[in-house]
Amino acid sequence: MRLISLAFVSMVAANAHPTVLAHGMGDSCFNDGMKQITKLVGDTLGNYSVCVPTGNRLTDTTNGFFMTMDDNVDVFASKIQADPKLADGFNCVGLSQGNLLCRGYIHKYNNPPVKNFLSIHGPVGGVAGFPKCDPDGLLGPVCKPIAELCGDLSYTKVSQNILFQIDYFRDPKRVGTDAYKEFSELAQWNNEGNRVNATYKKNFIAVEKFIMVKAAKDTMIFPNDSEQWGHFADGSLKDIVAMKDTKWYTEDLFGLKTVDEAGKIFFEETSGDHLQFTNEELVGWLHKYF
């Protein structure tokens, strides 16, 4: 993610909605990079823009590892709901893992409502491996055992309460198991679990636009098709299932088919690796969709 100059940004008529930003893994709203991006978004749209942390200067970063995905969403929501400038609704812009805060907020709360959701390189469909560790790539002999071990340990009540990243780990060899359906936080959001939450779907389809940006050469999100609602075929770490062929789309488990058929989903792609996007690209998406 390149640090950016704001000099080229032309002011436009104020966007109708303010914007909330959610940072990625290992980052913080208090870091200079996120401050610059937040300012760029606000200057571009001519409206209030804020990066919402889930902790203080230190814990905003560590909570992205050692606080559960659901708990991060709950803190994120409490801070949004306490900000009077967001009371009438807002756009949500996520970077990498931060998109799970945007997605989780939509499912669990959406009050005040998210108007438009811009997901930049977000693992919204989950991940099946560690960053830069493709089980079928050059490091397969190392990465595959790690993925297998992670899968064995991931879907218990205890493990789902330890690490944020485990909560969106979607092992294609285990998605049919009782353990995944019972304990995975991602499974609950997807309505793939043992219980169906109608509110998650109702809130999801209320969003006006979903803009899903995929990094063509992403080495962090595996598979990078997750950034546009795809995933691996059940039982495979190689065969990709595109969004419209996924079970959660064909059975409309959480509203994905509904919003697509309503013309609310838009796909964009960047040419490089994870979070390698330019200031011009970001401004272009904001002008185009917000």
Residue positions annotated with a catalytic role: 96, 218, 274
**Half-sphere exposure (CA, 13 Å, Cβ side) for 95?**
26
d(CA 110, CA 221): 26
Residue 109 structure tokens: 């709360």
Neighbour-count burial of 158, counting CB atoms closer than 10 A to its CB (0-12 exposed, 13-18 middle, 19+ buried):
exposed
Helix or strand run (H / E) with residue 268: strand 265-270
Provide CB contacts within 8 A for 269, sequence distance 6+. Answer: 213, 214, 215, 216
Instruction: For residue 278, report the phi and psi dihedrals to the nearest 5 degrees.
Output: -95, 165
d(CA 238, CA 233): 8
Instruction: For residue 162, report the phi and psi dihedrals to the nearest 5 degrees.
Output: -105, -45
> What strands, in cross-sheet order, belong to the sheet with 114-120?
49-51, 19-22, 90-95, 114-120, 209-215, 265-270
- Closest listed residue to residue 63, CA positions, set 104, 103, 113, 29: 29
